[in-house]
Amino acid sequence: MKIVIHTHEIVKMTRPNFLFMIADDHRHSALGALGTEAVSTPTFDQLIADGICFTQAHIMGSTSGAVCMPSRGMLMTGRNLFDTPDPLPDDIPLLPELLRGNGYTTFGTGKWHNRRGSYARCFGESGKVFFGGMNDQYAMPVNDFDPDGNYPPADTYLADGHATTVFTDEMINFLNKREPDDEPFFAYIAFTSPHDPRTPPAPYDAMYDPDQIELPPNFLPEHPFDIGVRDIRDELLAGYPRTEAEIKRHIADYYGMISHMDMEIGRILDTLDARGLSDNTIVIYTSDHGLGVGQHGLMGKQNLYDHSMRIPLIMRGPGAPAALRSSAMLYLHDLYPTLLQLAGVDIPKTSAGHSLTNVLNQATSKHRKLIFSAYQSVFGSPEGNPYQRSIKDERHKLIQTVVAGAVTWQLFDLLEDPYERTDLIDQPGYGNVISQLKTCLRKRQARSNDPLVTEADTKPPYIA
């Protein structure tokens, strides 16, 4: 695919650099500055003070238990969940690939869960890269840069040190070679933290005393009904029923991983400052999905509760307002057109993302009216797969769960009940809300090419 620089390209000195940092399993609420969880994150807190923090950022969901793979695929393609196949097709332009073809130096390091060929299309330079989903944080299998773009498995070796530090060092090495008047860059680092195995290095391994950890308000020993994920890997990280002591230990380790990553990101940002690059660099921090860790009796992210579907999103730099917290509802893949627009690159027609530039320049405080989410596992026969679908507006959220043909609906008032503890589906007075949300859900399923719905399903009475 030939990508050309367009005649309207912004002058090089005014084109921003991008430092894009993405974590694995970092839920939206685990940031110290938000005051919702007792986790120490001074670097993130300063980023929030210096930039814009989106408090209603979501992923669209996943078609498998490996939620990170389609989530990252949507980010890289700007497409919706059911239009993002694996492997990523050659004819869909990827975000770094487009920037690379339009005058940007592109550098990548860390986790890449979308196959080797797509990585080679995206990055002209590379630090250590992990082609996989998860691994021992102290024995991460990595590949060095391959100018031929093959990244053969035979060249894989184990990195020396904790993965967060290893990938941070690679990013710092790249930044230390940059000069302020060089061509613009897109530098991408994908941490494997705070994903399990949650083994932060000292002193972060003892930073949080499990006995002092406060359980989340929606902690449960078990989920109140079967959502079809009981026996998947993530859920087996803790026993049934979940005990308070075990969940506190998991949260302590989770916080330790986040605080360690926060420190390492501080090193990256210090390097950006030292090289004189901060003024013209847009810094983005986000995650591929959230995590339960005991909320609703769940450990993983294979569900549609906010703790799993919502993610942190912070932006700082030219074009981003300072000290602004935005409640605009958005998807992670809305960053695809946003960054292209900020770089002066045409947005492909294949993109389903909506640019955030009007929110960034404060022309509006709104973005999306509805958030549709989906989870469909790969287990069992196609007819017997458990699945979930949800629709959310600025106040209410409706979730449909289907397991072995049994259908369960849930309704939550997110303004009154942000932890999704009180199910209103059978309460009087919510009939119109439920009917309207079911209508919206079926229409969004059809618009998103959800294979579980047809146009006929978008007509009343929405019994299923």
Taken as a whole, the chain contains a residue count of 464
Indicate whether 45 pLDDT > 50.
yes
Considering the domain architecture, whether residues 35 and 57 belong to the same structural domain is answered as yes
Q: Is residue 324 part of a domain?
A: yes
pLDDT on residue 7:
33
Indicate whether 5 pLDDT > 80.
no
Q: Is residue 424 part of a domain?
A: yes
Mean pLDDT of 132-146: 97
Could you say which of 360, 385, 417 is where a domain stops? 360
pLDDT on residue 219:
98
The span from the CA of 278 to the CA of 276, in Å, is 6
Considering the domain architecture, whether residues 325 and 416 belong to the same structural domain is answered as no
Q: Return all residues near 361 (Cβ < 8 A) that are at least 6 apart.
A: 319
- Dump the DSSP string for 57-75: EE--EESSS-THHHHHHHH
Of 352, 444, 346, 452, which is closest to residue 398 (Cα–Cα)? 444
Indicate whether 462 pLDDT > 50.
no
Q: Is residue 389 part of a domain?
A: yes
Q: Is residue 96 part of a domain?
A: yes
Tens of pLDDT along 197-252? 999 999 999 999 999 999 999 999 999 999 999 999 999 999 999 999 999 999 99
Considering the domain architecture, whether residues 379 and 352 belong to the same structural domain is answered as no
Mean pLDDT of 149-172: 97
Q: Is residue 1 part of a domain?
A: no
Residue span of the structural domain in which 149 resides? 14-360
Q: Is residue 4 part of a domain?
A: no
Considering the domain architecture, whether residues 23 and 59 belong to the same structural domain is answered as yes
The predicted model scores a pTM of: 0.94
Mean pLDDT of 98-105: 98
Question: What percent of the chain has pLDDT above 70?
Answer: 93
Could you say which of 337, 360, 383 is where a domain stops? 360
Considering the domain architecture, whether residues 174 and 126 belong to the same structural domain is answered as yes
Dihedral-angle region of residue 90 (phi above 0 means left; psi in -120 to 50 means alpha; beta otherwise):
alpha
Indicate whether 74 pLDDT > 90.
yes
Could you say which of 300, 333, 360 is where a domain stops? 360
Asked if 292 contacts 238 with a C-beta cutoff of 8 angstroms, the reply is no
Considering the domain architecture, whether residues 388 and 278 belong to the same structural domain is answered as no
Alpha-carbon radius of gyration of the chain: 21
Task: Tell me which of 461 and 372 has the higher pLDDT.
Answer: 372
Residue whose token pair is 């307002």: 321
Q: Is residue 100 part of a domain?
A: yes
- The three-class DSSP label of residue 187 is strand
Residue whose token pair is 């209410």: 396
Least confident of 7-16, 101-110, 327-336: 7-16
The span from the CA of 254 to the CA of 298, in Å, is 15
How many domains are there within the chain?
2
pLDDT on residue 452:
87
Give me the CATH number covering residue 196: 3.40.720.10
Question: What percent of the chain has pLDDT above 90?
Answer: 92
Tens of pLDDT along 259-314? 999 999 999 999 999 999 999 999 999 999 999 999 999 999 999 999 999 999 99
Mean pLDDT of 97-104: 98
Considering the domain architecture, whether residues 256 and 128 belong to the same structural domain is answered as yes
Considering the domain architecture, whether residues 394 and 356 belong to the same structural domain is answered as no
Helix (H) / strand (E) element for 53: namely strand 52-58
Considering the domain architecture, whether residues 325 and 396 belong to the same structural domain is answered as no
Mean pLDDT of 164-189: 97
Indicate whether 330 pLDDT > 50.
yes
What six digits make up the tokens of 116? 């080797």
Our measurement of the distance from residue 56's CA atom to the centroid of its chain's CA atoms, rounded to an integer in Å, reads 12
Indicate whether 371 pLDDT > 50.
yes
pLDDT on residue 405:
87
Q: Is residue 292 part of a domain?
A: yes
Q: Residue 28 is which amino acid?
A: H
> Strand runs (DSSP E) across 340-456, as ranges?
371-376, 387-392, 396-403, 406-413
pLDDT on residue 416:
98
Indicate whether 455 pLDDT > 60.
no
Considering the domain architecture, whether residues 264 and 388 belong to the same structural domain is answered as no
pLDDT on residue 14:
81
Considering the domain architecture, whether residues 20 and 146 belong to the same structural domain is answered as yes
Give me the CATH number covering residue 415: 3.30.1120.10
Considering the domain architecture, whether residues 355 and 382 belong to the same structural domain is answered as no
Of 313, 322, 289, 336, which is closest to residue 64 (Cα–Cα)? 289
Report the mean per-residue pLDDT for the chain.
94
Tens of pLDDT along 420-453? 999 999 999 999 999 999 999 999 999 999 998 7
The span from the CA of 27 to the CA of 21, in Å, is 15
